[in-house]
Amino acid sequence: MEPLRRLRDNAKIYIEELSHNGFQQIFDHIDQLKIKNGVDRLGLDKFIEQCAYLAAGSGIISGSGGMITMVIGIPVDFINLVTQQFRITMAIMYYYKGTYEIDFNEFMRLVAASLRVEAGVAITKTMMEGIAEKMLRIFGTRTAERLIPVIGAAIGGTTNYLFIKRMAVMVKQMQPEPVIITVN
């Protein structure tokens, strides 16, 4: 019973840390100009596909060795999954709005809405914790399945790929019609 309580307490601490500055750090480390260039060069759907493959890759690695790689792989996989979700969200926002410079607060409102977390007018601590908790819950449901080598890799890669693809569909549905920029 004690290890379970310790695990729950550690998860709460991790959710608080992630919600306070983790999302901001991930957001700040993403080069929005590279996302713009990637969408311009590949197109939106191929860019999303590329992000889904990157997410699948970390899922495969974190589930490939069972318990040994899971200890190190799952945190790295989680960060990569969040990063890829942020990248596709920024790409979709750029595609539909016509600008690639996105404010963190506006961005997190869209992430919250895509995860169906209640988002108020301002980014609140509670909303950020809700996003972190929801993402960890989604991610945690697949953790036990990754304990089995090879099968865990297939499950991790497939679920990460499908997660990114589904998030892209939900974020696209939330956007108004794309901005058409005419060049004379």
Q: Splitting the chain (184 residues) into consecutive groups of 10 residues, what average pLDDT does each group show?
A: 62 61 82 92 95 89 68 76 88 86 79 62 52 62 58 78 87 73 65
pLDDT at 121: 40
| pTM for this prediction | 0.70
Q: What is the pLDDT of residue 40?
A: 94
Return the pLDDT at 120.
47
45-51 contacts at long range (C-beta below 8 A, 24 or more positions apart): 47/88, 47/91, 48/88, 48/91, 48/92, 48/164, 48/165, 48/168, 51/84, 51/87, 51/88, 51/91, 51/164, 51/168
pLDDT at 63: 72
